[in-house]
């Protein structure tokens, strides 16, 4: 694949022209889990350009899979001519929205400021920065920090009703827990409502998007604007990304798929999409790619008629990895995936790609005296040295895709660049070793 810049990727994106209205397309793609008045939104998005926003809190040094849903929804609205505001939460990041079980550990101002900048870079990567509807990035610390406590309580707090606030899912869950909830986290929905009103006043922003788990916070803004400005504005809540069995992905579940390559390598990122279940892959193609409805229908047919070929999964993994990490990284992940199973040359892989691939396998650190049989045991590919000897004698042991019949061979004589080696037993059972310095 040729090298692609961010500008190249953005220029190649388009909404599906078979939809008359971008609302119809985002509904087709499953991007609307809950919303304010659907008919009003369809009319709004089919008319003159509007300003809309989505907020991203710096609760980690990287955005993740759930945030990517928002960024792609924003991009679709931008492609339809609407004007995006990307809000980075310099103030809300200092507070943290309530989690279901316990209080957040508050970050320092310095840590939050550092993460704000990292999040800003992520957001700007996925949206067109120039033109009549180019992305504008704003930081809610700019209008929150100057507020005094008295101003906050008199001008903002008076518009919120506690009996309504405690019914919000995140708040009610905490009220019913042993941990309870502090006023700090309880106030989060007021701060998010303030953000929406500020953006409405400054930019005539009339739509906010966010995850459906944030619906209570989204509607705090619509309610504040209705009460203080006498205007009806809108919100869209996108679905949470889960597997077909209901498994979630995210920071709180400990299995977040990060957009930062130092936190989730491009290889691991590619493998995540490649391993999508048949029951999930078409919905993910709709949400995470710019493939047309016709192309997705073709892949859906392939899932039905040729599931063993995994055409939809391969296309999904390619499209999303190229979108997030670039075409070269996507191709490197494809090459590594093929080479691991003997369909390519492991020796030509860049060391960082090989390291990322081995990190996704059962792996062990070894020393220079370790034999192939000992490495097989250390990585769990066999249960004992006797089993290792038998496997080698039967021709079922490979190191870097080369069959090894002498199980006593020192593994150090077989390692690739960086001191790594890939062990394979049979056709599909893999592990990795790294030579200790």
Q: What is the pLDDT of residues 398-425, one digit of tens each?
A: 999 999 999 899 999 999 988 999 999 9
Using the Cα atoms of residue 280, residue 282, residue 283 and residue 289 in order, give the sign of their dihedral.
positive
φ/ψ of 258, rounded to 5, equals -85, 155
Summarised one tens digit per residue, pLDDT across range 240-250 is 988 767 766 65
Angle 102-261-212 (CA atoms, 0-180°, nearest 5)? 40
Number of Cβ atoms within 10 Å of the Cβ of 304 = 10
Q: In the chain, which segments carry CATH 3.10.290.10?
A: 361-437
Q: Residue 71 in contact with residue 52, Cβ under 8 Å?
A: no
Give 1's pLDDT tier (boundaries 50, 70, 90).
Answer: very low
Chain centroid to CA 356: how far? 18
* Second-level CATH architecture of 31-238: 3-Layer(aba) Sandwich (3.40)
Do 123 and 74 meet the contact criterion of CB atoms below 8 Å apart? no
Would residue 180 be called left, alpha or beta, if left means φ above 0 and alpha means ψ between -120 and 50 degrees? Answer: left
Gyration radius of the chain's alpha carbons: 25
CA–CA separation, 120 and 122 (whole Å): 5
- 420 contacts 433 by C-beta, under 8 angstroms: yes
Mean pLDDT of 335-360: 90
The domain defined by 361-437 folds into 3.10.290
Cα angle 277, 250, 307 (rounded to 5 degrees) comes to 5
Bridge-based pairing of strands 136-139 and 83-88 is parallel
Written as six digits, the tokens of 228 are 């203080």
Residue ranges matching CATH 3.40.50.620 in the chain: 31-238
Global confidence as pTM: 0.91
Of 63, 110, 69, nearest to 90 by C-alpha is 110
Please choose, from the candidates 280, 276, 199, the residue with its C-alpha nearest in 3D space to the C-alpha of residue 235.
199
Q: Which residues pair with 49 in a beta bridge?
A: none
**Share of residues in the chain with pLDDT > 70 (%):** 97
Q: What is the average pLDDT across 223-239?
A: 96
């Amino acid at each position: 694949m040729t090298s692609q810049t961010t500008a190249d990727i953005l220029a190649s994106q388009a909404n599906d022209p078979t939809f008359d209205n971008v609302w119809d397309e985002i509904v087709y793609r499953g991007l609307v889990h809950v919303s304010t008045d659907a008919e009003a939104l369809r009319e709004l998005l089919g008319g003159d350009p509007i300003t809309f926003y989505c907020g991203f809190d710096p609760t980690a040094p990287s955005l993740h899979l759930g945030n990517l849903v928002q960024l792609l929804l924003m991009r679709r609205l931008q492609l339809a001519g609407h004007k995006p505001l990307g809000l980075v939460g310099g103030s809300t990041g200092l507070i943290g929205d309530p989690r279901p079980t316990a209080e957040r550990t508050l970050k320092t101002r310095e840590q939050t400021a550092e993460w704000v900048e990292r999040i800003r870079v992520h957001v700007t990567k996925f949206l067109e920065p120039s033109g009549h509807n180019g992305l504008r990035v704003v930081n809610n610390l700019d209008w929150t920090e100057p507020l005094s406590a008295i101003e906050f309580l008199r001008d903002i707090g008076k518009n919120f009703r506690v009996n309504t606030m405690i019914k919000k899912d995140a708040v009610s869950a905490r009220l019913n827990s042993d941990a309870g909830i502090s006023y700090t986290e309880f106030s989060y929905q007021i701060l998010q409502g303030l953000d929406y009103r500020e953006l409405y006043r400054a930019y005539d922003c009339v739509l906010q998007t966010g995850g459906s788990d944030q619906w209570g916070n989204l509607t705090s803004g619509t309610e504040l604007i209705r009460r203080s400005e006498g205007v009806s504005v809108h919100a869209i809540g996108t679905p949470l990304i889960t597997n077909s069995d209901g498994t979630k992905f995210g920071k709180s579940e400990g299995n977040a798929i990060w957009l930062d390559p130092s936190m989730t390598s491009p290889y691991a990122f590619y493998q995540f999409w490649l391993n999508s279940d048949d029951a999930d892959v078409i919905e993910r193609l709709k949400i995470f790619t710019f493939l047309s409805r016709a192309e997705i229908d073709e892949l859906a047919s392939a899932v039905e008629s040729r599931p063993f070929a995994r055409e939809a999964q391969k296309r999904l993994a390619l499209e999303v990895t190229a979108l997030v990490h670039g075409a070269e990284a996507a191709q490197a992940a494809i090459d590594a995936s093929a080479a691991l199973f003997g369909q390519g040359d492991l020796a030509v892989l860049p060391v960082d790609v090989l390291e990322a691939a081995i990190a996704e396998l059962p792996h062990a650190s070894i020393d220079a005296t370790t034999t192939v049989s000992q490495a097989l045991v250390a990585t769990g590919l066999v249960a004992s040295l006797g089993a290792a000897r038998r496997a080698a004698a039967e021709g079922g042991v490979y190191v870097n895709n080369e069959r090894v019949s002498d199980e006593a061979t020192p593994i150090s004589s077989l390692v690739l660049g960086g001191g790594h080696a890939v062990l394979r037993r049979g056709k599909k059972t893999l592990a990795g070793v790294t030579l200790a310095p």
